[in-house]
Amino acid sequence: MLKDRRARLVSLFDREQLDCLVVEHLPNLRYLTGFSGSTGTLLLGRDAGWFICDSRYTLQARDEVVGLEIIEHSQRHEAIASLQRDVGWQRMGFEADHTMVSTHQALAKRLPAVQLVAVGAELDAIRDRKDQGELSALKQVAGLASDALLAVLPQIRPGVSEAELALALEVEMRHRGADGRGFDFIVASGERGAMPHGRASNKRLQAGELVTIDFGAVLNGYHSDETVTLAVGHADNRQQRMYDVVLTAHNRAIAAVRPGISCKELDAIARDYICEQGLGEYFGHGLGHGVGLEIHEAPTLSPRSDVVLASGMVVTIEPGVYIPGWGGVRIEDTVVVTDESCLILTAVPKRLMVV
Ligand code: ZN
Ligand code: ZN
């Protein structure tokens, strides 16, 4: 399977006329080699590949990395240069979006005759369509996180702080087998809800507020992503109306997910509805994003994205409105694009829950 994934890079090699490719971005490294450690280098030629790591990771690499020669070396740039001298590569690709300037400089210094070729978004996009193993991992982690949220619902009540809720949710996820939280949860109540990425603070929930909770777990490298907005105690007419607008936008977008629709068409379905309701200026971010080995990955669902959805892609649908001085509503599910429509992986009900 890892060999198949590496074989998908052949067209990239052809297009960029590469002799080899250096991969160090951990999600790409894990996807292409199976290595789950925190430092390593894949040096991929057209017919062979090498995995370079220092002595801290040699045993782990021998255990996890499939079909590559493992080279232990304390100076990875030296190891790359030494391989280049043996094999004679002329054009070496590197990850444009993830390579530090110092790494590029070190390679350029050691390999003056080699052309270093920046390879951009198309490399990360090789992970956009998930295989069966990835889909079952994503389904498992999404279900686990949703169950954890449902288990802590009784603790969401006036007087509890946003930070206490975030901690309780993380503990519940770990009890249920998660490796950890997938990202810093967003817990934003009352007026703080106007901040789309308001981190959990020491503010305490009050009756009559909405609280937006954006949460996810990580398990075996794969992430989940879901957002609920709840009413604490009771909801007034304005809160209910805002919620209904966002929920309708969310439901319309999910109903439109299918292979062949472009990301910007999908974004427009939710955005146009929110604009029709006079709230367009309060929906500032894109409709969603891919989820997998990273919490945010390709494709991006935004008004600027021409990417076309394909079966096997896993994306979030997360419209929201954020009104300064009032608060906000976001509703997010993660879905997998199927042959005809989509399957929702996240499981917390999306009607307005009053807790
Ligand atoms: Zn989220
Ligand atoms: Zn998201």
Q: What is the mean pLDDT of residues 261-282?
A: 98
Are 33 and 114 within one domain? Answer: yes
Q: How far is the CA of 213 from the centre of ligand 1 (A)?
A: 8
Expressed in angstroms and rounded, the spacing between residue 332 Cα and the centre of ligand 1 is 6
User: Could you please report the per-residue DSSP string of 29-67?
Assistant: HHHHH---SS--EEEEESS-EEEEE-TTSHHHHHHH--S
- Ligand 1 centroid, distance to 48 Cα (angstroms): 39
Higher pLDDT residue, 11 or 227?
227
CA distances from 216 to 1, 31, 150, 192, 334 (A): 27, 20, 13, 20, 10
Query: What whole-number percentage of the chain has pLDDT above 70?
Result: 100
Please say whether the beta carbons of 206 and 232 come within 8 A.
yes
Domain finish residue from 93, 127, 161 = 127
206 and 338 both lie in a single domain: yes
Containing domain of residue 136, as a range? Answer: 132-344
State the average pLDDT for the chain: 96
- Asked if residue 353 belongs to a domain, the reply is no
- 299 and 317 in a single domain? The answer is yes
Over residues 194-245, the pLDDT tens digits come to 999 889 999 999 999 999 999 999 999 999 999 999 999 999 999 999 999 9
Ligand closest to 212 (CA) is 1
Q: How many domains are there within the chain?
A: 2
Ligand of minimum distance to the alpha carbon of 213 = 1
Q: How many CA atoms lie within 13 A of 119 on its CB side?
A: 29
Give yes or no: residues 116 and 146 share one domain.
no
Determine the length of the chain: 355
Single out the residue in 101, 127, 153 at which a domain terminates: 127
The CATH code of the domain that includes 105 is 3.40.350.10
Measured in Å, residue 334 CA sits from the centre of ligand 2 at 8
Task: Please check whether residues 186 and 300 belong to one and the same domain.
Answer: yes
CA of 260 to the centre of ligand 1 (A): 24
Banded model confidence at residue 272, pLDDT cuts 50, 70, 90: very high
Q: Is the pLDDT of residue 1 over 80?
A: no
- Distance from the Cα of residue 43 to its chain's centroid: 25
Do 93 and 228 reside in the same domain of the chain? no
- Is the link from the previous residue into 299 a cis peptide, with omega within 30 of 0? yes
Centroid of ligand 1 to alpha carbon of 334 (angstroms): 9
Confidence of residue 123 (pLDDT cuts 50, 70, 90): confident
- The mean pLDDT value for 39-54 works out to 96
What pLDDT is attached to residue 4? 85
